[in-house]
Amino acid sequence: MSQIKKIIVERNLKIDQIASEAGLPLSSLYAIVNDGREPSVSKAIKIARALNATVEELFV
């Protein structure tokens, strides 16, 4: 399970909420979370901010 997915589940969040808060298409976030795609640095920062986490917590 990806760290992003783990945080989403632990905090009882919805992936579409996070995509919206990060300003990303839902399909992009799904690809990162479920397919293991590597996000660009800018997308990683947006996701981290939406989850109130650091990039290191999510991707390292």
Measured CA to CA, the distance from residue 9 to residue 40 in angstroms comes to: 23
pLDDT of residue 16: 95
Confidence of residue 60 (pLDDT cuts 50, 70, 90): confident
- Spell out the domain ranges in the chain: 3-59
The model's pLDDT over 14-49, given as tens digits with 9 standing for 90+, comes to 999 999 999 999 999 999 999 989 999 999 999 999
Measured CA to CA, the distance from residue 27 to residue 24 in angstroms comes to: 8
Measured CA to CA, the distance from residue 20 to residue 56 in angstroms comes to: 21
What does the block give as tokens for 43? 């997308």
pLDDT of residue 29: 96
The model's pTM:
0.92
Measured CA to CA, the distance from residue 38 to residue 9 in angstroms comes to: 20
Run of H or E including 36: none
In words, the CATH class of domain 3-59 is mainly alpha
Asked if the model's pLDDT at residue 1 lies above 80, the reply is no
